[in-house]
A and B are shown apart, each in its own frame.
Chain A
Amino acid sequence: MKLHVLRPWRPGRGEWNRAAVYHLARRAGFGAGRAELDRLLAGGVSDAVDRFLSDDAPDARLLAGAAALLPQGEIDALAAWWMSLILSGKAPLRERIALLWHDHFATSFAKVKDVRMMHRQNTLFRERGLGDFRELLHAVATDPAMLIWLDGDANRAGTPNENFAREVMELFALGIGNYTERDIQESARALTGWGTEGRSFRYRAPDHDGGTKTIFGERGTFGGEEAIDLILAQPACPRHIARRLLEEFVAPNPRKEWVEETAELLVSEDWSIGRTVEVILRSELFFSPQARRSRIAGPIELVATTIRTLGARVPARLALEAAMRMGQIPFQPPSVKGWDGMKTWINAGAWVARHNALWRLARAHVEDTDEVHLDLRDSLGSPKSNEDATRFALELLTPDLVDGAFAEAVRESVRSAPSLDEALTGATALVLTAPEYHLI
């Protein structure tokens, strides 16, 4: 397929710089420390993108460790476990995609009330999130947590429950305006009989409505699988998914031509999310000014990228707690729409929580805490003076803002710091709590 909007980026002289690699690390993964950024920078843009695509195996020990936590039945333990996988830095793109699908197919423990089911769904997003979207959608439709969340168990012949059918069209696959109420009602009939038994999917034939349905103008005695195939066959479907990917990796409110080309790419790549994301990450569009700092970082990505960029050691439970205070509780999205994101991330309460958490993290360099370990001399690159402290902090945390008014304001604030450590802490805290830093 001939690419226009998503044509590969051929950086001009000096364009593949610290700011570019920083953008890649924050968007394709959850940030990277100074040494890793240097390595990525030295290898060139192609190798750097390869790194995010090829580093595809989560920490096996951590991954398996979930089995030891699930018997406790605590959703916070599962959320902290996921945070520990994110903070481990392994398979960063895979974890980011899992987070994206968790937001997209938003399912809440508040109703499911089963940690093992939530873990199973999380595993689904991790294992198949970069695969064929059609398979993913089919798998989500039979996922026990989703069936409970959207009342699959209550969807029976004669008394169809439209919840799943409605959300799969409105939120998961098509978007508003691309279906009719009749399509929802008929799809709901097709999906009757799909439910759970224990923690597994169970098809109950007696509950299935075997009558003729008309979905998107097609007539037949459709079952659930066929209904989902009909949804996937709608032209709106690849566009809906393309838009979601562009919002995540490029910018909110993507232009129509971006969406059209990405949708076409998705279909031409046999619905492979991984290959579509790869093209996006290598594209000129991804590295364009329109994509950089184009959206407000969500709490989990903000907390994780900050910890990873600074090379801090923070217990996963503490990192999770910070993200939760900022308004994002993994496995408990506020509604089936997921998190609203953007400006809702920085309402008054959330902004104070962000400020306090990041300020405390920076202060860990000079204040003894049992839980958080941060050595800014090491993470920023052995600065020797207060002037260095500002420059190094800016280079690591906001490399595109090393010069200018913002940088000067930070520089001025720490110029007379009583010690280098205080200067490092001050500069880091000021950068982390500046609005600019929260744009990703």
Chain B
Amino acid sequence: MRRILLPLGALAALLLVARTLPVAGAFSGRTETRSAHRAALAPAPSPPLAGQERELAMLFPADSVLFVEAPGLDELLAEGTDGDFVSALLTSPLGSALSEAGISPDAWLSWLESRWGRDPLATLSALTDQGVALALRPRAHGQPAMTLVLRTENAGLLSEVLDDAFGRIEAKYRIPGAFDEPADRVLGADVWVLGDELVVARRGGLLIVGNDRDFARRSLELATTDTPDEGVLASNEAFRELAAKRPEGVLAWAWVDLPALVDAGAKDLAELTELAGVPGAQALLGPALSGIPTGPGLALWLAVDGRRLEISIEGVGAKLPEPLLARAEDFSPPPAIADPSDLAYGLLYRDYASFVNDRAKLFAPELLPSFSEPLSTLSLFFGGADFGEDVLPGLSPWILLVSRDLEFEPGVVPENPLPGLCAIAELEQPERLGPEVITAFQTLIGILNADRAQNRGGMMRLRLGLEGDVELTSASFLPPGPEDGVDMRYNLEPACAMVGPYLVLGTHADLVRDVIRRLDARRGTTGHAEGADEFLTISGAALLRTVEANFETLVMNKVLDEGVTPEEAEGDLNGLRLLLESVESARFETHAGLPAEGRPVARLILTLAEGGDAR
């Protein structure tokens, strides 16, 4: 919801700046400042105002580095608390809890209405019916320059609301009449200056609010220029490309000029842009996610649809690592084995064969030596075969992930019951590579046992079993020895099996058995293998069960990590409980697309749980 409120939040921030400024001083005794304002906003003839059809992006200068527009805001506000998403949120356990805590949106809106004398949502909806947008530009010192542009067909309403706001400021700061007349009239707009920085300009149904006079004035100029083709944000090529493909029906969207922000000193962002070239980050995040910040622009989309909230981030002109995407079509699509009881179910696209074998093309030379040790170590598990050349190319670039709670017999429940995790991949030559992988698994257990024996630790026992006609290799810990700080018996029982061409590797034998059964009974495919599609779906209810089972551990870790009391930690985690109860699922997906397009996308989709009518 934060993105929905961004334009409003920005307006509130601007008004907050005004509230904290010496308003009376700005007008009553500082004539030279007023003169300066007049010089900055020099009188001029009043050219006609551009029509409402002009895109809002045409009203911001090209050196804006962040642009946020909320085309669906008026509709969302008009629906108020009856809108599908808001209604679902309010009837969710989270909404009900807030209501019970006296933080009911209805009560808050009623209070606001009684103070303001207007229906707040309807008024804000009417004020934004022709769009609202915000842009930022870095400044050499202090906060960035910020301008908010709002357009409405209800010029009279805008005038009334503005008068009302000024009246309240006059009353609060005891400066009656200070805003009766505008400080200036520029390009046909009435201009008020609040404090040292805040500028408010209104002309008809157009309102411009900014904390930088030059930046705000440019918007006013662009709104009154006949042909603002040059020097406007919309002339930026990356911006134009993204704006042209803007999905229909989005609530809000934002564009970020990443290189400009980095140039302006955003060091954290600079690190993000280099992630794709870091082997560890590339291996973990994959080509799509690590590729998003590598281009000249970023777009963020926010949409609500029924009980769904979607947040997307898309790169434009991104540099995608072609070698990592080449084998997407070489393997058959992964099987569909999701189950409603899963805590998480996902599909990763990680072409580790190309990652290793094309490393010289993908990474800087100084990073290449870091590959040697892990590769030679892994080769040992495969009887000396070259892990990069002989093993990885036989592994599909897609990896299915399944995670779910485990069922334990009474009396053998682990102290911290954690969900199990299973990974499934396809082998190109299962009859050759399958036995090698199983042997490697057994070798790994043997080496771990030798290491633990040296440290007087408990050993793992290897077992061979059958699930149907599939041979299952598993390893389980013996009861902990005196050197074992942690009883791992029930939290780790690694197992692996080959089911036809599929390699199944999991943290628990029970889960691997379950997956074997699912593979036997599979129907169709999971997703598809276009490009490098990835997704991970997490069930709110299942995650809640894990949180519940480990609640006290989470409380104590929060106490130690954050310095809060156990009661405060419990309060925070109760909030997490409510959130998980309120979310049916969270799905994170990425799509790398074709390297030539350079448009990788990541998307988070939250689906609220169906709730009762708790309001």
Contacts and interface: CB of A to CB of B under 8 A. Distances in A.
A436 B485 CA distance: 42
Contacts of B384: none
10 contacts: A68-B552, A71-B416, A71-B553, A72-B486, A77-B557, A114-B484, A196-B482, A315-B561, A315-B563, A373-B563
A324 to B, nearest CB: 14
Given A65-B552, A71-B416, A71-B553, A115 B563 contact: no
A75 B484 CA distance: 12
Contacts of A84: 559-560
Interface in B24-39: none
Interface string A58-94: 0101100111111111110100110010000000000
A114 B560 contact: no
Interface residues of B, number: 22
Interface in A310-328: 313-318
Nearest to B488: A73
Nearest to A66: B556
B373 interface: no
Contacts, number: 72
B486 A81 contact: no
A199 interface: yes
Interface in B404-439: 414-416
A148 B567 CA distance: 37
Nearest to A69: B556
Nearest to B558: A315
A199 B482 CA distance: 7
Contact of B560 (A75, A115, A196, A317): A317
Interface string B555-585: 1110111111011000000000000000000
Interface string B378-418: 00000000000000000000000000000000000011100
A206 interface: no
B366 interface: no
Contact of A80 (B487, B560, B564): B560
Given A65-B556, A65-B559, 5 more contacts: A62-B559, A71-B486, A114-B485, A115-B485, A116-B485
A73 B480 CA distance: 12
Interface of B: 414-416, 482-487, 552-553, 555-557, 559-564, 566-567
Contacts of B567: 61
Contacts of B560: 69, 77, 80-81, 84, 315-317
In this complex, which of A74, A75, A113, A198 has the most chain B Cβ atoms within 10 angstroms of its Cβ?
A113
A69 B485 contact: no
Contact of A114 (B416, B483, B556, B563): B483
Interface residues of A, number: 35
B485 A113 contact: yes
Main secondary structure of the interface of A (DSSP, over half): helix
A148 B482 contact: yes
B298 to A, nearest CB: 25
Contacts of B484: 73, 114
B561 A317 contact: yes
Contacts of A371: 562-563
A9 B485 CA distance: 49
B557 to A, nearest CB: 8
Interface string A103-129: 000000000011110000000000000
Contacts of B487: 71
B563 A313 contact: yes
B563 A68 contact: no
Contacts of A318: 563
A5 to B, nearest CB: 42
Contacts of A114: 482-485
Contacts of B483: 113-114
Nearest to B487: A71
A77 B558 CA distance: 11
B482 A68 contact: no
Interface in A2-31: none
A71 B415 contact: yes
Q: Which 8 A-B pairs have the closest CB atoms?
A: A73-B485, A73-B486, A71-B415, A315-B563, A68-B552, A65-B556, A61-B566, A68-B553
A62 to B, nearest CB: 6
B555 A68 contact: yes
Contact of B562 (A68, A74, A315): A315
B561 to A, nearest CB: 5
Contacts of B563: 313-316, 318, 371-373
Interface in A339-379: 371-373
A196 B481 CA distance: 12
Among A59, A115, A315: residue with most chain B CB under 10 A:
A315
A206 to B, nearest CB: 20
